[in-house]
Amino acid sequence: MSQAAIADAIENNIDRLIEIWTSIVRDDPRIESDDALSKPELIDHVPAIVQEICALIRKNEVPDVRSSHEARANVYIRYQQGYKGRDLIRELSLLRITLLDHLKEISEDKEPLFDSEEVHNASKILNLYLDEEMRYAISVYGSAPSAPEAPEAKAL
Amino acid sequence: MISQEEFDRFVRDYNEDYRLLLTRASRRHYDCLITSFMVLKDFYNMIQVSYDSGQYKFNDLPYPFSFRADYVLLRNLGFDDEEIANIFGFLHYVKETQGMEFEACLEAGTLEMCSRVR
């Protein structure tokens, strides 16, 4: 059926996937930075990231700087939250595994709506997207910029 | 090629403009905001593409362009509950007036917007 069917199969399960990912992150003893975060703070941009990945899969488009806004937003927020860079990389790695596991699961349906090449294309897109975020995270954390201050009320 | 100082100024200008547009949305000044965000998105992409070239560093981190999902970000930016509701209200306003989501509008670009007002 196509890439669109794969994107739908991910998006229709987004709540369950985020729930699985949240639980794996919370249980991972190697991630320390999440301790101080509430569940909404931890989840934050992750659903939007998955949706942006799905939009790219639907269009069969290779992610780049211009099509990974949610990934960049996530790096910004994590940096502001005082999250350690290595913990961010680890949680992205866990998101990758969660999504790849789901792809495997839906491709093993008795009557799959897509062929192995389409699944392979979708996994390439999601891998490249998360690599794009990691690349950005590494360069931001490496250069340690100052995060901008909260604004003063501005006259229009 | 631009210098690091010029790049820093671009980031500062972007951050200021971003805050200004969100402030307008927070006060329900929605007129012409979509086109302003379109221009700002190009500016943001230019900054990120330049940064990605590896020739510059961020001395100040640019605000993320995306704000749809982000109550936490908007809180950090100093907006209160009513202002945040107005910012999210802008997204509804776009959907109602343009018949598509805010992000789709930005993607469609100015040509699509122009064809709608003709």
Q: What is the pLDDT of residues A28-86, one digit of tens each?
A: 999 998 888 888 888 888 999 999 999 999 999 999 999 999 999 999 989 988 899 99
A151 has a pLDDT exceeding 60: no
Please, which residues have CB within 8 angstroms of residue B89's CB and are 6 or more apart in sequence?
B25, B28
B77 has a pLDDT exceeding 60: yes
pLDDT at B107: 81
When the pLDDT of each residue in chain B is averaged and rounded to a whole number, the result is 89
A152 has a pLDDT exceeding 60: no
Encode pLDDT of B29-48 as tens digits.
998 899 999 999 999 999 99
pLDDT band at residue A153 under the 50/70/90 scheme = very low
pLDDT at A155: 47
Encode pLDDT of A83-135 as tens digits.
999 999 999 999 999 999 999 998 887 677 788 899 999 999 999 999 999 99
pTM for the model stands at 0.87
Instruction: Name the minimum distance, in Å, from the CA of B99 to any CA of chain A.
Output: 18
Encode pLDDT of B56-65 as tens digits.
999 999 999 9
pLDDT band at residue B112 under the 50/70/90 scheme = low
The answer to whether residues B90 and B25 touch, using CB atoms and an 8 Å cutoff, is: yes
B101 has a pLDDT exceeding 90: no
Identity of residue A124: K
Give the chain A residue whose CA is nearest to the CA of B27: A156
| Mean pLDDT score, B43-55 | 94
pLDDT at A45: 86
pLDDT band at residue A147 under the 50/70/90 scheme = low
pLDDT at A149: 57
The chain B residues in contact with chain A (CB within 8 A) are: 15, 19-20, 23-24, 27, 29, 45, 48-49, 51-52, 57-73, 76-78
B1 has a pLDDT exceeding 90: no
- Nearest residue, CB atoms, A80 vs list B49, B58, B76: B76
Give the chain A residue whose CA is nearest to the CA of B11: A148
| Mean pLDDT score, A2-6 | 89
At what angle are helices B102-117 and B81-98 packed, to 10 degrees? Answer: 50
Length in residues, chain A: 156
- Which position has the higher pLDDT, B110 or A17? A17
Distance CA A96, CA A101 (A): 8
| Mean pLDDT score, B3-31 | 95
Distance CA B57, CA A144 (A): 9
pLDDT at B89: 94
Identity of residue A50: V
Q: Which helix (H) or strand (E) holds A150?
A: none
- Give this complex's ipTM: 0.82
- What torsion, rounded to 10 degrees, do the Cα atoms A108, A111, A116, A122 define? -80
Eight-class DSSP state of A108: T
Eight-class DSSP state of A146: B
Distance CA B109, CA B85 (A): 26
* Helical segments of chain A, H only: 3-11, 14-27, 39-43, 46-59, 69-80, 85-107, 116-143
Q: Do A77 and B65 touch (CB under 8 A)?
A: no
pLDDT at B31: 85
